[in-house]
A = this chain, B = another copy of it.
Amino acid sequence: MTLQTSHQPIGIFDSGIGGLTVMKEIVRCLPKQSIVYLGDTARVPYGEKSPEAVTRFSIENGIFLVDQNVKLLVIACNTASCFALEKLQRLFKIPVVGVIEPAVSEAVHVTKNKKFGILGTKGTVRSGSYQREIEKRIPGAKVVSVACPLFVPFIEEGWVDHPALDIIVKDYLLPLKQENVDTVLLGCTHYPMLANLIRKELGPTVTVLDSAGAAARLVAEMLEKENGAQSVQTGAEYQFFVSDDPEKFRMLGQKFLGKPIQKVGVL
């Protein structure tokens, strides 16, 4: 595991647009670091697809990014992190970072009652990855996982204030409230867009964490430890690629990234 020369970009992939919330955090932690982002918009979403399909897509995405000469690969998609992280770590020479482990590492320091809530796609919940990572660190922890397949369609519609969403949020969060969890992990890159709504429903005693910040801090730590990337890099360049419709990605992506996107290439 070597991070090679510091002027190389890092690679980030996601099933689509949501991983830009992870990129946003990485840019915040490493403002001088160049980044190549790939959104697999032709095959989005990954959340309900099989482990085999998600792994195959992830390998293809990884190969594309390795071909762009990246020095480190970030799997920004939670579902792909659950199913494909180990495979990609075995396969590629460069280090590969997923979004599950960094988030769990932070969450276990936050909890007081050792009761966790996980919100994610069907694939993420079914994989049991969050639960396993938590139990590794806190044996006997209580983990309540809820698949929330309607969150992404509402977010992509921009209906985050829609009254129908309030009803759905209440439905999805009910099991977490019943179990009195004190720490909730947003296990999907889209969900930070609903963080305020979720915090309001759960109340002030519950800490709501997303995986983007934790993953970004881990990446920054790895790069700085290896070769002081921050001090060497000058003038970060950002490149974006998608497997379908660059314009739709460019328009919606700016909301997720929080800054303008000029140009998007198509695979």
Chain A contacts with B in 237-259, Cβ cutoff 8 A: 243-245, 248
Which of A21-29, A87-95, A150-158, A222-230 is the interface stretch? A150-158
Give the contacting residue for A53; candidates B149, B156, B157, B245; CB below 8 A: B245
Contact indicator A49/B53 (Cβ below 8 Å): no
- Cα-based distance from A108 to B158 in the complex (angstroms): 35
Is the CB of A173 closer than 8 A to any CB of chain B?
no
Q: How large is the interface on A (under 10, 10 to 19, 20 to 34, 35 or more residues)?
A: 20 to 34
Nearest CB in chain B: distance from A23 CB, A = 22
Which of A129-137, A163-171, A180-188, A199-207 is the interface stretch? A163-171
Give the contacting residue for A149; candidates B52, B157, B168, B245; CB below 8 A: B157
A63 partner residues in chain B, CB cutoff 8 A: none
Is the CB of A50 closer than 8 A to any CB of chain B?
yes
A149 partner residues in chain B, CB cutoff 8 A: 153, 156-157
